[in-house]
Amino acid sequence: MEIHDKSGLTTYLPSDARYKSMKYRRSGKSGILLPEISLGLWHNFGHKDNLLNAQLLLRKAFDMGIIHFDLANNYGPPFGSAETNFGRMYNDDFRPYRHELFISSKAGYDMWPGPYGNFGSRKYLVNSLDQSLKRMNLDYVDLFYHHRPDPHTPLEETMGALDFIVRSGRALYVGISNYPAAEAKKAIAILKDLGTPCLIHQARYSMLDRWVEDGLLDVLTEGGVGCIAFSPLEQGMLSNKYLNGIPADSRAGQGMTYLEKETVEKNLPKIKELNKIAIERGQSLSQMAIAWLLHNKAVTSVLVGVSKIEQLVDNAKTLENTSFSDEEVRKVKAILTA
């Protein structure tokens, strides 16, 4: 018998088959195993979003073996709302399965007024995580990141705060995000000396944004640190959305944050050529874009952000083919470097 709550949702019971098809990778030299596809809550989980849809997305993800949910203190909008909404959904659906979930959050960007609401001081990071745990109804997060480098706070203080966060039981593991190669190398060394190793780096990475290949991935591999890629589809550019022009209701068409019309127009010739290869591979362009990242063994997982269950399922189908022939690699690189 189905039991409905006041929202119309049935009581959630996860699929018994949730671990049969998802693939997992080890993050660097650690005990962390992440699904090759992880779910980011950057968009679609704020107070302005359809929260019934958001809850169904989380349910479907877990049913598919996507056990990693990624958040940050300032995800929303407004700031904190994604964590608050996740906390309610966690209480409703996932509390009995906490031991199966891998939940991450971050701090480093603007969060509250005053000198301690931003960047990388010990005070900001510890206070922010305490607030995040309350919003998410959690005793600890599995992973806590410093979200970006702080040009003013000594790196030793920031990494010392991450060490304290683990030793105090607030997080099981720590990582860094958006650190360039040289700073990442220093951070990894400091944390190693402290006895709380950096186990993962979250970086923007896509076929059209390959900055991590210029030294960072080498640093991570040498340090035994995994890499998790975000924005793999470049805000929708690496999908079929813009193949026939810029739709009026699209992110670029509406002049929304993070994607400008001029950027799409500049990259459209490459996008169309990449799409031809995807068709030859029997994949959508978005699937090939994710597969291209997973083809790199330095990548532990790819974070996707979706607004529809159909998009999540489509992204997961990527895992049916993440290999590239030598000829396909040659063709893709020729397009990307043209």
pLDDT in tens, 96-149: 999 999 999 999 999 999 999 999 999 999 999 999 999 999 999 999 999 999
Q: Return the domain boundaries, the chain.
A: 24-236+285-323
- DSSP reduced 3-state for 246: coil
Residues 6+ apart with CB under 8 A from 290: 37, 232, 233, 302, 304, 315, 318
pLDDT tens string 177-189: 999 999 999 999 9
Give the separation between CA 73 and CA 99, rounded to whole angstroms. 22
Answer positive or negative: Cα dihedral of 313, 316, 320, 323.
positive
Residues 6+ apart with CB under 8 A from 118: 108, 109, 110, 111, 124
- DSSP reduced 3-state for 38: strand
- DSSP reduced 3-state for 312: helix
- Residue spans of alpha helices (H) in the chain: 51-63, 81-89, 122-136, 155-167, 181-194, 216-223, 261-281, 285-294, 309-316, 326-336
DSSP state of 50: -
- Which tokens is 242 given? 């813009």
pLDDT of residue 2: 36
The amino acid at residue 99 is H
Q: Is-above-0.75 flag for pTM?
A: yes
The amino acid at residue 185 is K
Burial of 244 per CB tally in 10 Å (0-12, 13-18, 19+): exposed
Phi, psi (deg, nearest 5) at residue 141: -105, 155
Cα within 13 Å of Cα(5), Cβ side? 9
Phi, psi (deg, nearest 5) at residue 71: -130, 180
The domain made up of 24-236+285-323 has a fold known as TIM Barrel (3.20.20)
pLDDT of residue 262: 84
Each residue's pLDDT, cut to its tens digit, for the chain (338 residues) gives 233 455 568 899 999 999 999 999 999 999 999 999 999 999 999 999 999 999 999 999 999 999 999 999 999 999 999 999 999 999 999 999 999 999 999 999 999 999 999 999 999 999 999 999 999 999 999 999 999 999 999 999 999 999 999 999 999 999 999 999 999 999 999 999 999 999 999 999 999 999 999 999 999 999 999 999 999 999 889 998 888 776 656 555 555 556 678 888 899 999 999 999 999 999 999 999 999 999 999 999 999 999 999 999 999 999 999 999 999 999 999 999 98
The amino acid at residue 199 is L
- DSSP reduced 3-state for 44: coil
Cα–chain-centroid distance for residue 105? 10
pLDDT of residue 256: 57
pLDDT of residue 4: 46
* Mean of per-residue pLDDT scores for the chain: 94
Give the separation between CA 276 and CA 335, rounded to whole angstroms. 11
Q: How far apart are the first and last CA of the chain?
A: 59
